[in-house]
Amino acid sequence: MEPGSETPGYETRPGFRRRRRRRERRRPRGLYLLPHLVTTAGLFFGFTAIVHAFGGLYDRAALFILLAAICDALDGRIARLARSTSRFGLEYDSIADIVSFGVAPASLAYAAGGLEALGRAGLVLTFCYTVGAALRLARFNVAQSRYPGRFEGLPSPAAAGMVAATQWFFLFLAENDLAVHVHPRLTAIGVALLGLLMVSRIPYRSFKELDLRHSYGTLVVVVFAVVLLVQEPSVTLFAIGVGYLLSGPIEWLWRWKTKRPLAEVRPEVPAETPPRINA
């Protein structure tokens, strides 16, 4: 077919469009609802974590936050597999994430850390976490990361997981007669720092390019981590959380000191419109 020909291509022919519509009709409608159901489950877990946090069941609240993080990791993948990605799903997922990773972890930190004793300061510092998570989610929806394979700022599920893992870790210490008293002021500062890391521009690895099939060393590390997770989940999750939390600032400082900046994603330049020639 010559360039400029107005003959419709294969994908624009009426017959092709009819066959495509028939294939879409054959696809079960439940596949379109499944990602939204998973997102709703994550929202439920976040809401339940808030209820348990203010009810004094801190370990259960931490568990429900981690369950919400699992749902958040699954709903997007299920939507892509079912070819049911939509703008509605993106917005709904963000709203659910604000509850599960913005309000629920802050509620757990406020209740379990005794931040009520700090009065207004405890409330404000805890709110810094919530607003940081909200801003992080809003920025993620409207702007892509400048660095390939990296998040800009600490991901909100990782920050929420850090709060939950910390609660489990201190529970583990208490059960083994190693209870450590943390002053509420220190807890409040730590929660506020998590909020600042979420809105920062510090790159964090996304691990989306992780390939277990062709990297033997990576596979060994993952298997070793799973074994430790099964053996003592509270300690392992806390260690993984702290390691990931510090990895971003440490790598950023190392690259700044050695002058080895990350390669940035080149912005897409729109094609120039050819000049119009008047007849």
* pLDDT for the residue 29: 59
- DSSP annotation of 117 reads G
CB atoms within 10 A of CB 143: 9
Please state, in angstroms and as integers, the Cα–Cα distance from residue 63 to each residue in 72, 144, 200, 225, following that order: 14, 31, 27, 19
Q: Please indicate, yes or no, whether the overall pTM of this predicted structure exceeds 0.85.
A: no
Q: Could you read off the pLDDT tens digit of each residue along the chain, which spans 279 residues?
A: 444 444 444 444 555 455 555 554 555 555 678 888 999 999 999 999 999 999 999 999 999 999 999 999 888 888 888 777 788 888 899 999 999 999 999 999 999 999 999 999 999 999 999 999 999 999 888 877 788 888 889 999 999 999 999 999 999 998 888 878 889 999 999 999 999 999 999 999 887 766 556 565 666 767 777 777 777 888 889 999 999 999 999 999 998 999 888 877 765 544 444 444 443
Q: Where are the domains of the chain?
A: 27-258
CATH code that applies to domain 27-258 = 1.20.120.1760
- Three-class SS of residue 204? strand
Chain centroid offset of residue 260 CA: 27
Distance CA 176, CA 171 (A): 9
Are 162 and 194 in contact by the 8 Å Cβ rule? The answer is yes
**Contact of 55 with 108, CB cutoff 8 Å:** no
